[in-house]
Structure 1
């Protein structure tokens, strides 16, 4: 691809290594030999009711355990930053929650903890923070003390930014459509990528600008992920990723997770399971079957407000309109199209993974590809990076 920042040869190198280094026997084991297909969610949250974990049928999930501080932007909009002070408290709380339920949770400290979880009928949980704001200023001393502190507390996945940029990276919503801004990794961001690689922590480019995602794919010497997102060629929106980003992530050996936020999955007036399958199919076509993953980005039960409204999207979408209109005023890509829904009703449910699996079967995806999509690809990446 002209002007691309990634090397397509890297994918072939990673695939060559995969047989002996990137894939454990467990990740490549056929579903029938495991008694069930692996279900892994690329981004969710620790539930208030621990019974939801068993009900979800998940073998593992990446859990955003961060907390936020609301920070007013110069333009009047609000950015919810995952600051050090907020997140060091929230990760301690998350550890206490996991430790209080040893019969349910397996703490995810290495990718092989997925195997341990399955063997003991538990669910492996890998802690993630949605934004490197939590270590802003850490790079100035060049020793990454705060990053190491989070790693010691169990953090294994770090997202570079959330919506808006920081001292490391550009955010997806920094992009002013009238100016065409697309912020790259900063020098501090490049140092952060090297530090995360060195510490065997998985890099997540969800919410990043296109250029930041491409820069990260080029610089990282390990697979990266977009844990939760959607396809821009289907919905032309700043929060959705163009094909070049999907390819770049795939060429690192990483995965692209499609999430449940329906206004970024389809512009159709009524969202359906077929719209979700179409997203997965597109990622598979662009990045290959090894690049597809599934994420939630709502609580395990689903979007709680929409559940209260019995999945009445016309009512539920109203809570997003003020925020949506504030970004429309800034000419951010895609906010000129009014959202009409929030969830796919059939998937706004605790049993969404089984329902997605069944939808893929009905769409005639091969069983081996369903193994990959539903969890095998994420297991491979976690086992190759988080060691």
Structure 2
């Protein structure tokens, strides 16, 4: 019967590595399986004899010392019999392996929370109590979002860009075939990858619809606004006045006792409608003008940065009123119109292209405060005229750093009808409804 050392030597010849470095192979899954099968094929039945021979072989070739050198170097690990090193001084922040572990763990947690948000029997979970909301708001989500924003700006080494972006693409189902630049090495950091541009022809505008989708995402809710309450998801509402803030009365015929909703309408023959679109992390992160309209006012509400995931939206009432948001209000052909970009965890940065003065997620703010900026005859804002900033349907308006939510509130004739279904996927330029 041949000695097990003979089979180990034969194994090293097959792999093409010397016997003294077989520890790196045996400790890998492939090497371990091959070694065990060959040793069993030699007819070994005595565990003591096997242990004695292996220990003698390890001592003879000093493989134990080699193991200590490999494992003491935290930047080297083995996978499928090949070594991978992050090198020295390439990244100022976290190393790739912890980054991948954190990303993977976050994805699993995200999926588990989605499952919990639906409830065990498909019913929505109960609404959070004020104590639960206060506890959630006490988390340092604003600080974490600022840290995430800085991490997004860290330039990645060229060799690391493809594996990092590929993991993100696989996790969130990103369609890179629509990107203007498909080469992953082109994006120097995560921020550039999140804000990637699309090919011009992949988002055609629906010419037959007076109102188109401003973003890629999923329809959370839509319909008429009743009793000055808006549904963020089915069965969970928020106050229209708290969401938009004080507004001037637009209808001359409205009485002093009229509701906040009625004060927004310019005609008694009109009604107020809303659409809520959720942008997932894998969606296109820019938002566009849904129609031809004129922006008169920007109102910035500093606030919390809680998640706007549909599961959280079902759980926390008035979530959109608590989170930081940027409200653009103005006029379109039917009267009042507003587009609101709602911030979320890791989405503290909301950018409006024509407003360079806007700064979101600042370290300090007063609770319940808001900051107004009028675009009417504003010389500091590009494209601003006497009536505000004129936007064309499909024109780029702004961007998020990650997924978030867009809320449209608009006046339209009472016979306006939506061409939507709850929960449906929608893309920029697709029709929302018709007159």
TM range (shorter): under 0.3
Name the structure where helix makes up a greater proportion of residues. Answer: 1
Determine which structure has more spread, i.e. the larger CA radius of gyration. Answer: 2
After TM superposition, the score normalised by the length of structure 1 is 0.25
